[in-house]
Structures are given as C-alpha cells and as structure tokens.
Structure 1
Amino acid sequence: MLAGALAVTMLAPAAANAAPRTWVSVIAHGLDNPRGVTIGYDGAVVLAEAGRGGRSDKCRESPEGGKVCLGLSGAITAVSTGRRDAWTQRRIVSGLPSLAGRDGASAVGPHDVSPYGDGEYITALGLGGTPQSRFDLGLLGLMLGQTVIVKSDRNGRSTRSFGDPAAYEGRRDPDRQGVDSNPYSVLGTRDGAVAVDAGGNSLVAIDRRSAMSTVAVFPNRMVAGPSGGRVAMQAVPTSVVRGPDGAFYVGQLTGAPFPVGGARVYRVVPGQRPTVFARGFTNIVDIAFDRQGRLLVLELAKNGLASGDQTGALIRVDRRGNRTELAPGRLTAPGGLAVGGDGAVYVTNRSTSAGRGELLRIVM
C-alpha cells in the first residue's frame, strides 16, 4: 500500500519548498574521483574512489576523446569518527584498476561499494566500452567492467572477482542497442547482488555462484533535440537501492541531449516491467531513502550536463511529492550519497576531480 501511494503522489513534481537550515561539514578530503557511498559494518562511512589512472603504457582512446591510461590508484576508503568527534579517513583497500587522462580527472574505476556479508564489500568497476576493449590493457585491465568482492581485516586484504557485467553485456546485450558496458552501481542482497550497467541500460542480478540474469531494461525516450525535432535519448541508469517496500529503485542520468528535468526514478520488481516512480529530475547520479522513507535524489549537474555548470543538487521528496533542495549551492559534481544511522546524509563531492574530492556530512 505504501508503494502504491508513493507512486501516485510522486509521478509529477510538486513545487519546491524553501530549503531547511542545514549544517554541512567536510569530513574527508584529498580523495580521487570519489563516487558511491555506503554505511559500513562498524558504522563507518565507506566510499569508492575511482582513482586517478596511471602513467603506464597500458592506454586506450576514451569514448569522450583523448587517451586514458591504466593505473592501480582505485580504492575503497573508510571514514569514521573517534574521540572528540574527530573524523579520520583510511584506504581499507587500494591498488584497484583505474583509467584516466594525465590530469586524473573523470576517472573510470571503482564506482560504487556495498556491504556484501561477513565483513566483505562488493564494488562495481566501470569500463565504458565493450568487453574486448579490456584486452589492450593487460591482465589488470580485465578487472574493469566487473563486480569485485574486497575485504580488509587483521589477516590482510583480499580481492576476488564475483561477476562480470561487461561480459554479460557482450553475450546478451539486453537493450539490443549494441554492446556497451559501464557498471556504475551495485547493491549486495541476500541472494548475491544486483548491478546497474549505465552503458547497457540494464539492471542485472548476480547470484552467489556468479551466474547472471537480466532484471530490467530501461527504455529510450523521445525528447526534443538541440537543433529541433525529436531524438532518441538513452536511459543511462546510474544507481540502485532497495526501497522501504522491498522493491528496487533505479535513478537515471539520461544520455544526450541531457535535458533539464528529463531524469526519472524507476521502481523495479523482478519479473515485472519497470514503472516510473518519480520524474522531473536532472542527471541523477545517486538515490537513497531516509529514515522516514522519503526519497533523496542526488543530481550531478542541476542545470544539465550540456550547460557545463557543475553545480549539483540534493533533493528530498516527501510522501506528497513536495520537493526540498538541501544544502543549496554547496555541491559541485557530487557522486554518491548514503544515510547514516544518525540520520545525517553523507555525500561525495567533486567526484570528477583527482586529489580534490571530498566527503560531506549534511545534518538538518
């Protein structure tokens, strides 16, 4: 009943409310392209750093233009509070593959992280291409496009492959638009995990034996083109979370022409077609639900990627569909969010910058 009521009230955007008073603090800095965030087993805030690439001879042409080179600068970082509420940060897993240009910006690497079980985490390693494009990058480059289990404890650190969404995209191409894979979000489940493939416009399931299946495909939509007329816009899903009703919820970045207000949140029940849960957002990079069951939407660029403006936005949607922007003007190209047990919202900021990324704590 809750899901049905929410779906009805959220289909169309309501007027934005005045921003409540918020306190924003930087609790971690110096991060390399920080992306997805989760709350760890010990209450620490755990985030994925896509890294800054490397200076190796393992390079390829980027789909966006220019040369990107492989390095082992990707990491999983934990940020925790100790005495006198002082925050400390440490990379609990390092040496993960990362692709970037010479300036290290807009890296492809660990894009998201989620608890998996028994002190482990699962991370989604981006790719941005076909599975064959990995072979020019050597053995370590083959990890790109995969979901990987990582663990760090007193016995050391371990990394093992769990699923290969890129290979699955190569075999199945669920959206039938040509092979293109970029795993961007992952969520551990009791049955294994689900992962969003932004390149493949799909949500895939990975069971505990690493077998994969398609949960949902997100359709193209016809939108106004930059030069007039109508063009087909790909969905480009970027986030997946479990909702209060147990269903999966997926946010979309959208593809070109990146229209303002063109992004949606989909509700996904396995075995059924995705339905629109909320609409009227711009370039969604992550979503979450707070402790009251309200939807939180993180926009990478509130004025649209085509504008060149990197101002982001965090929007809260109540059960009547009313929208409130939280901490307006404080976000620059944000990359991920999570809600802590204390109700605070944790957001990675400057997610496309090497060495300048931050983790923010937002309290209302």
Structure 2
Amino acid sequence: MAKLRTVAVLAGAALLTRRALRRRIQASPLWPMPALENPTSGRPRSRALRLLVTAHETVAEGVVQLRLEGRDLPRWEPGAHLDLVLPSGVVRQYSLCGDPADTSAYTVATRLVEGGRGGSREVHEQVAEGMELEVRGPRNRFPLVAARSYVFIAGGIGITPILPMLRALGDGVEWRLLYCGRSRESMPFLEEVEKLGGDRVTVVTGRPDLDALDVPGEAAVYCCGPEGLMAAVEERYPQVHLERFTPHAAPGAAFEVELRRSGRTLTVGADSTVLAAVRTELPDTAYSCEQGFCGTCQQRVLEGEVEHRDELLTDAERGDSMLICVSRARSERLVLDM
C-alpha cells in the first residue's frame, strides 16, 4: 500500500453534501472533529414518512434496489440507514446507498435471504412500483469517522453502507476496499465500485484471505457483510466499525422479570428473550423487528441492571428503559413497568 497521507474526516456532525465533504477532506492535512451532535443518530427519532416506490429493479443476482421518492426529505450521511415498514407491518432496516445530496428520494437495496424471517422476500415479491411505504429515519450508527486512512471490507450486500463512503472520499483520501461475494454476478454495484476505486479495490469470489490484508495501524477499518465475515474481521481488528442488521448473539443466564403493573413474575430462560416471556402473559405486547433496531418494544425499567444489546437507545434512554426483544439482565431480577 502506498504511503498514507494524514487526513481527517468530519462525519456525523454537520449535514454535508458529498461535494462539500470531499472539498473539506482535500483542503487540509488535518481536520479536527468538533464535538457536535450527529443529526442522523440516536434520538430524537425522525418522523415517519410516506414515500412512493418509483423503481423496483434487480441490480445483481438475488438483489433488488428500491427508489423511494418524496419531497424535501431529511438529508443523511454515509453509513445511515432507514427503517422500512413493509406491507405486512414488519419493520426492517436497510442501508442508504444513493446520493446524500438528493432530497427527493432514498435508495436502498436488499438481498433475498432464503430461510430468513420473510422481510427480504416481501421486498422482492410484494413491494412494487407505485406502492407507498412508510419509512422512519434516516439514522446513522455507522458514521465515517476521522482517520489517517481507511480500509473497507464488504461482503455481498454489505457494500450498501460502504458505497456512499467511497463516493464521499473520492480520490483525495487514501482508502482500500476488499469486496467479496459468492460470484461477480451476485455482487451489487460491482462495476461502479471497480470504476470508482481502480487498483484500490480487491474483488474476491469465495472466502477472502483476511490474514493477507494490508491494514496500517492508523487506518480506520469498516466492515459490513455476513456475520461470519464480520466476526472474523473483528477477531483480527477489535477496533473495527461494524454494521449489523441482526442481533449479535451472546450467551446469557436465566433471570426473573417482574411485571409490576400486571403483578406477574416470569422466568426468562438462557435461550429465550424477555419479549418471548412477556408475550406468554401479555400477548398484545407491541413488537416488530425483534432485532433491537426499531424501538417498538421499548419498556421502562423500574429496578435491576440491564445488559443492553440494542442498536438504538441513547445512553440517557438506557438509564431507565430497555428493548425487551434483545436486551437481557445483568442482575438476577428485573422489574418492568408493565
């Protein structure tokens, strides 16, 4: 890898267009990052919007891209995602992969997951041009941070949050991309990525050799793709920035949950969730994504220590609430205001 220039990128602070972001990156050898709030992350959560599906097209083998049009849409930054409320009512999260400066439309893409929970199949088979969909967001928990250089690792559909980052960085910043997939035909946006990066892009079909990857110590590492790929990257580079749309499973012990207003006490097994246990007693309890992203199942915690596993709540919210679909107890007992 060529000698890397010192660069810093402001991401997650001001609402910058792609051109403005590139101009600022190239203008200074070091750009301090001010401590400003990221407008597309955490709370307050963006209002729901009704957008029109104006394009539903296949962009790779098993991958469909949606264009969702509206007016004066909230701007977003590379790494941001949308919550889509699908026709069945389920909520799924998809990375924005279009142009952040385009306030007339959002673009997302999804791969058909055989044997999944049905969201991707619904997008592929039931969503159509001319249909209106509710969207929430955008939110960004995968922002482009200040770094001297960048190494990106994408597996298949995992290219979607990374592609806007590459466009924003352009030619003035040192970056490299390892893009892997089952076959070239299954890799979305491959032609654009290769034109954009030239010899900075390494394309691998099959299993990548991560040990051969040249990662300078000062580089920011970004990875999105199948869980196996992300786990392998995280093992080698603990500082990696990851984008997950499925809960990161971890072992847990059984514990008790008291539902204070209902006067009931439940046992949550090591292989179960608080949501599953609660719904055996309170079947009308609201939920949607079951992955810790949408916030539908948020509940107030009156007593006990929570092991937060969600990707949504702010530190302040975690002080007295939890998402019961994924989070668990650190203590032997939790008391919920239910």
TM-score by length of 2: 0.29
Higher share of residues assigned helix: 2
The answer to which structure, 1 or 2, has the higher relative contact order (CA under 8 A, 6+ apart) is 1
Greater gyration radius: 2
TM-score by length of 1: 0.28
